[in-house]
Structure 1
Amino acid sequence: MPSEKPGSRSSSPTPKRGKGIIVEPTPDVPLSPRRSPRKPATAAPAAVSSSPVSRFPSVQERLKVMGPLPTNKSLFKGIVFLITSGTKEQKKRRALSFGRSLFTWSSSTDESGVEEETEVSPIDKNYATEQIQHGGGVVLASFDKSQTTKCKVYLISNTYTRTSKYFQALAAGIPCLSHLWVRDCINSDKILTYDAYLLPAGIGLDDKTILEQQPQRCILAGMHIYVVSNIIENQEAWRSVLLAAGCKVVKRLPTQLQKKGVAFACNVIVTDYTCPKHIIEKAVQLSIPVVSLEWLMQSLINSRRFPYKDSYKFAWDWQDTS
């Protein structure tokens, strides 16, 4: 069903499906609503500094791009939101923050089905939070499956990205929408259909093709997966994505080789170049495949479970040095 026409008060064009919109760097951080800064009556236009991700030179410019606070206090009632954002630098290097460690991938700006430059539309995540809460919606600082099972849940972002929240949303089948959907709902004073605002799932294995979001198919549900990294924050972030996908996270590998008849389930080990040697040795002993985080991410982006040896990028110690 086609999207309803957004309100006419917005100045930035409504995004088309499959287009990303980009801003300056920001990691996933807990969000806390606060009031927008106000311009003193006799002063020059104030810079917007309420959010670490804001790149608006003034309150007026932010209002022009993101729209006003809603007058309808129940506009977003019954809807739960996650908010994240991508970066301009990611557009060029695909430098992705997952947890708090930086992983880099190459990118392309070729035409025809590949990544292309789009209009820059900044996002102020604190202001977006204020808009949603002012309209009766709820913004979660972090993904919580227990809070998202009985209500409508959307993730909003300025572009497709590789933050933990974005992958949690893909894993849980939560629609990832352009933040301009919030603006246009406010301007129209009603909840619009979101088809035209869907962001891509991400970049495919070829580092070029932009892939659309697919309906949740529980592609990883029920799998027993062990996650290990010497970077603790990464390890916790990956586990949260697996839980969102319906996986059973294995807490530990057996200390000794399994005796015949003793049950132990582990389909695959997801790790990175920091994986301890003894884990690799144990995996060999137990005949458990070991893959990189890229296997997990590409499975979610493509909405299908990749064979473990389908790409050299799935090798557990793979790093992009380009």
Structure 2
Amino acid sequence: MKPPSPLPVSLSDVPGRVRGLTRTLCLLALGGLVAGPVPAGADTQKPSTARSARQAPAVQPRFVVVIDAGHGGKDGGAQGPRGTLEKDVVLAVARRLARQLNREPGMRGILVRADDRFLNLRQRAEIAHRARADLFVSLHADAYADGEASGSSVYILSESGASSEAARCLADRENAGEVGGVDLSAQDAVLASVLVDLSKNANIEASERAAGQVLGALQQEFRLHNPGVQKAGFAVLKSLDVPSLLVEMAFISNPDEEARLLDPKQQERLAGALYRGIRQHAATLGRLPPDPAGAATSARRDNPEPTRTSSIP
């Protein structure tokens, strides 16, 4: 079979939910391969205006955010000078973020873990996949030998990390399940490759857009350690169809920031900044009405610093 030519599709306006987009693009561009020829005599006419008018308006689904409190259980994560464990403070902020999201009509926050338990990295990403999440946010607290290091950072999956995940899915597509709303095991190699590549590219772009808006919201409240969205090969971000980002909220190795992470008021403030960035992202996708309170800072969030590449492998 001759491989199809490159698809004339722009991914510059990819919505937050990548799942379904790649399936639609694939069906449109490769209709003959997926759906086969239209049977003779089939009705290809558009429905009448009268019938369309009788159809009930579609209900906008809630914007689903899966919140991953890093580490947990036997994995305590980094430890601060006072003995504070990363797993505890990130869970506290995750709970507060979920509450804020769930108070917003049209949004839903789901916790990967609601208590002190261990889940491996693949399990965390799979929870987001099963929830058909619009966004996956993994919360962490950074650490460094130099106790003076401070500030917040936001990461997305690097191109090399995304490519390795795409190769893994293609190599084992019998067990890869759905990507972009299509079962890879039911597709031939050429179509599976096109689909995975579409989904990978769309997901990177959607992740970067969301990360930029979250970073902009954090910048309004806190010092940034890295002024631009960073890229790294974190395993927890290796989803091909759920936009994903990882937030290093502060340096737990810094005594001042450790104290901030322990303070309930500061935890609420951190959760509030994350909530505003996520809400702004959902609003720019048309999934929520604009937030009047955020109008003054929307320009900064919509035009974040250029993405910079992290040295993390």
TM-score (normalizing by structure 1):
0.26
TM-score by length of 2: 0.27
- The structure whose RCO (Cα within 8 Å, separation 6+) is larger is 2
Q: Which of the two has greater helix per residue?
A: 2
